Amino acid sequence: MHLDQGHTHDGPVAVSADAHRADGRRRALRIGLGGPVGSGKTATVAALCRALRDEWSLAVVTNDIYTREDAEFLLREAVLPPERITAVETGACPHTAIRDDISANLEAVEDLEDEVGPLELILVESGGDNLTATFSKGLVDAQIFVIDVAGGDDIPRKGGPGVTTADLLVVNKTDLAPYVGSDLGRMAADAKAQRGELPVVFQSLRAEGGDGVEAVADWVRARLAAWAA
Amino acid sequence: MSRAALLVLADGRFPAGGHAHSGGAEAAVKAGRITGAADLEEFCRGRLHTAGLVSASLAAAAALGVDPVELDGAADARTPSPALRIAARKLGRQLMRAGRATWPSAELDALAGRFPKGAHQPVVLGVVARAAGLGADDAAYCSLYECVSGPASAVVRLLSLDPFDATGVLAGLAPELDVVAQRAVEGARCAVEGGVGVLPAGGAPLLEIGAEAHAAWAVRLFAS
């Protein structure tokens, strides 16, 4: 949709979902990562950056709730050059900043494209939130919801917009399942019941010899290929 | 003018970034200057008559058609704290986006082109009000209401203050808000002839100092 017809292209674009930037170039694909506190969003973002940074030009926006911890973790891990990581402050309401009032995040993604672009992919990480927190379509093109087995194996059954509607559901920390008594088969069946054909990935970033973030990275690669087509 | 358009612009859910800012309340809570509803009322009253009057007169002047570039300079001159200038421009940029999407206008486009990283929020507010078909008094009221409702809702989150008490504070301040709005519009009308130098220039040193300290905190809930 090209909603800013009739306006000059001198200033910043006024409308968020437009696939083109003010200069007419196609903007970067934006993928949101949401989910409860401690489920492994930042670790997944870090692993995705390592997996994709040599193939694609990418950047990250974090939405910390009350600190710059997540941005600083990514900086410390040196997953990307520092100018490719930006933090947005959310005033105690992370879901507001990704859903109801997306202006600060839109400015962050546009500034990244202006300052370190051209970019092909921007990962927008939400602050840890509740099961109803989803990204606005005005901010991201696709969203990943990250939960973990230690948060309780009943979360897929409980559903909620994050679990039910995210374009990809990631069940993280599968290596912990035996220690916390979580039934992965039950989680998979519940997720299937809630999500129908929408994909689910079971992931462990820690298990030795495992595939780590590769399944999620492949999903992102497919999205990028579709965006570029 | 449309009264309904005023409600759209004044709605706390208008997506222009205000939710992430406390209007100085977070710094005041940490310093022990706001501990409950009575302190919140005093804080809001102080803000209303100082920073609030200044912002509202800038917004009213912009709504009357005073040159927004000159008004932006006047806002800088009336905002000693660099942290508050940054916050005002960030919020101005966010309001510009919401305003352009909601009430498309050539004047807003021109101002966005002149200040791609954001003009001062009250100036943008006045031009958005014009684009919405609203008047100087509407712009002043929006600015003043934000100036007290922002801290009130922030304190509900910061102190777990009873939300009915916080709303009661806002209702209690309403008659004073009417008086300040009138002064702001009078100041703006003077600026149409007399230039931006005659706009109100009151200041609140504790708000400025608090904002500078707050901007340096490593852990905070609000952006300002």
CA distance B139 to A1: 32
The residue among A65 and A81 whose pLDDT is bigger is: A81
For residue A107, give the nearest of B13, B94, B221 by CB distance: B94
For the record, the structure tokens of A76 come out as 């410390």
Contacts 24+ apart (CB under 8 A), B25-28: B25/B150, B25/B151, B25/B154, B25/B155, B25/B158, B25/B222, B26/B154, B26/B158, B26/B214, B26/B220, B26/B221, B26/B222, B27/B210, B27/B211, B27/B213, B27/B214, B28/B151, B28/B206, B28/B210
Q: Would you call A186 helix, strand, or coil by DSSP?
A: helix
Give the pLDDT confidence of B52-74 residue by residue, as tens digits: 999 999 999 999 999 999 999 99
CA distance B224 to B18: 10
Angle between helices A41-52 and A214-228 (to 10 degrees): 60
Q: What confidence score (pLDDT) does residue A20 get? A: 84
Give the pLDDT confidence of B36-48 residue by residue, as tens digits: 999 999 999 999 9
For residue A97, give the nearest of B20, B22, B116 by CB distance: B20
Q: How many residues appear in chain A?
A: 229
Q: Would you call A168 helix, strand, or coil by DSSP?
A: strand
CATH class, B3-215 region = mainly alpha
Q: What confidence score (pLDDT) does residue A2 get? A: 41
Nearest chain B alpha carbon to A94: B20
Q: What confidence score (pLDDT) does residue B110 get? A: 98
pLDDT at B130 over 90: yes
Mutate to test the interface with A, among B90, B95, B100 (most CBs of A within 10 A): B100
What is the number of domains present in chain A?
Answer: 1
CA distance B202 to B180: 12
pLDDT at A54 over 60: yes
Q: What share of chain B is helix, strand, coil (3-state, %, to 5)?
A: 75, 0, 25
Give the pLDDT confidence of B205-220 residue by residue, as tens digits: 999 999 999 999 988 9
The shortest C-alpha distance from A68 to chain B (Å) reads: 8
Segment A194-202 shows an average pLDDT of 96
CA distance B134 to B63: 8
Give the pLDDT confidence of B133-158 residue by residue, as tens digits: 999 999 999 999 999 999 999 999 99
Which residues, including other chains, have CB under 8 Å from residue A119's CB and lie 6 or more apart? Answer: A28, A57, A58, A59, A112, A113
A109 is in an annotated binding site: no
Segment A113-120 shows an average pLDDT of 94
Confidence at A13, pLDDT banded by 50, 70, 90: very low
Confidence at A117, pLDDT banded by 50, 70, 90: confident
Q: Is the ipTM of this complex over 0.85?
A: yes
- Asked if residue B22 lies in contact with residue B158, where contact means CB atoms within 8 angstroms, the answer is yes
The residue among A131 and A177 whose pLDDT is bigger is: A177
Give chain A's largest Cα–Cα span: 60
User: From edge to edge, which strands make up the β-sheet containing A200-202?
Assistant: A85-87, A58-62, A121-125, A29-34, A142-148, A168-172, A200-202
Give all strands (DSSP E) within A35-133, no chain letters.
Answer: 58-62, 85-87, 121-125
Q: What confidence score (pLDDT) does residue A92 get? A: 79
Consecutive H or E run containing A169: strand A168-172
For residue A103, give the nearest of B17, B157, B222 by CB distance: B17
- The whole domain housing A212 covers 29-228
Q: What confidence score (pLDDT) does residue B218 get? A: 86
Dihedral sign for Cα atoms in the order B134, B135, B139, B144: negative
Q: What confidence score (pLDDT) does residue A121 get? A: 98
- Asked if residue A131 lies in contact with residue A191, where contact means CB atoms within 8 angstroms, the answer is no
Q: What confidence score (pLDDT) does residue A9 get? A: 42
Segment A54-72 shows an average pLDDT of 87
pLDDT at A7 over 90: no
pLDDT at A91 over 90: no
Residue A139 maps to a domain:
yes
pLDDT at B192 over 60: yes
Give the CATH number of the domain where residue A70 resides.
Answer: 3.40.50.300
CA distance A200 to A17: 26
Question: Tell me, what amino acid is at B50?
Answer: T
Residue A129 maps to a domain:
yes
